[in-house]
Structure 1
């Protein structure tokens, strides 16, 4: 590996794991740790607004505890709606994501737009599409994307929703982003995963991203060409590995795609 590439990779891995910008404290429900929030964020929600939604948020022994009469999923989504009303959520997707405890066991689900402000861990999936000659399919993200607009990405990258298993998320996102059926691809292989824990700009900079990204690789037959289905991709390109390496070092890929591609390339 060239020294320039080695320095770049070291910097990328450092950026993938950063401490919060300000202190965060654990968010508990029913005795389970599910995330973290800033104290200022808790105060912005305010007691009266929480009570109007049938919720309570109490400070106990250095942590925040979310209470309420409703079942946990309903309670968390009531909190998400309150966050949205106050401009404290991320982009609203009407998509439920898993909420897990410290042992990675599912305890509830919540609207996707609430996970970063609440520091709730998420899962995502990426697909590295390769050609017979070794070229790599990449996509350029739409300029309308909330995160990293216009930057380059793997062939497909998306969240694992609450109703999806990992293979189901891979199949769904591959169709939505690239118009390809996983069953049409060859040598579909789980390559590994990368992890992120770093500040997020959601909720006026009070968010925190905790995410595991599982990535797969697959051979895309020459007869197939990616065609975006959901309007979130500008275009696709096939790049030689040497060009991908240059673009990585130039910072043209999203942080997530950068580490996935570096992992795929064996760096």
Structure 2
């Protein structure tokens, strides 16, 4: 049994319950053909107009929710631009994420900036790292990050773009965030998959809803190997003893995802 489960069971139960929350306000499905690909607050898209194309309307509402027409990636691209122009998109990334049906089949792609207001499920990867003597390698997120600036996080965490498998994203993000190649690490092992559903306030407009699946790995960073950020998204790396990690978790200094994953890994 880890420190969190042994000493802070109530806090841990509250953390896990917070990762499985219904929307703060009612939402309706977002449909493409017969697939529910996300959800939106009922009135959220009322202010967005998408002109019809030669095949018919691109955005309309019924008693079952909101519907998208046309080719999915193209229509979502137009919708994302319209949301940005209306000030309803999050930080624009020019990064396409996969849009999947309930069976996991990829139907198209969407700009990352609009996945939360549209309630579209995302995939992410995280790497939890120890030093040989048991300290935890953690990073402090850059103050310029759109989400959770300045909070502590796992050694690496990032989205899986539409062009990557989780394993490819793991390798790429580990280099970009920590300057490490997977071949430098010892005992790299898949830890599991964590699912999270919870409301998230967006910077503008209606509330967002997080639907995310996180694949996570564990490893040991050998002595003499030091993380070094490559993309400007990390302010510092630090080796923390387990007791300090726990204290900072309880103080709310880690991201929710990092807290959930550290608990899942047995901290």
TM class, shorter-length: over 0.9
- The alpha-carbon deviation at position 97 of structure 1 amounts to 0.2
Scaled by the length of structure 2, the TM-score of the pair is 0.93
Match of 1:11 in 2: 14
- The alpha-carbon deviation at position 223 of structure 1 amounts to 1.8
Q: Distance in 2 between matches of 1:52 and 1:31?
A: 20
- Check conservation: 2:44, 2:206, Cα contact below 8 A: no
Q: 1:170 to 1:159 in 2, by over 3 A?
A: same
- What is the root-mean-square deviation of aligned Cα atoms in Å? 1.6
Q: Distance in 1 between matches of 2:233 and 2:142?
A: 5
Q: Which has the higher helix share?
A: 1
Gaps of 5+ in 2: none
- Check conservation: 1:77, 1:111, Cα contact below 8 A: yes
Secondary structure, counterpart of 1:50 in structure 2: coil
State yes or no: 1:133 paired with 2:136: no
Match of 2:182 in 1: 182
Q: Distance in 2 between matches of 1:84 and 1:52?
A: 19
State yes or no: 1:42 paired with 2:45: yes
Secondary structure, counterpart of 2:177 in structure 1: helix
Match of 1:248 in 2: 249
Q: Where does 1:219-230 land on structure 2 (aligned, <5 Å)?
A: 219-230=220-231
Match of 2:86 in 1: 86
Q: 1:205 to 1:9 in 2, by over 3 A?
A: farther
- Check conservation: 1:53, 1:78, Cα contact below 8 A: no
Match of 1:207 in 2: 208
Match of 2:29 in 1: 26
Secondary structure, counterpart of 2:149 in structure 1: coil
Q: Which runs of 4+ in 1 moved over 6 A?
A: none
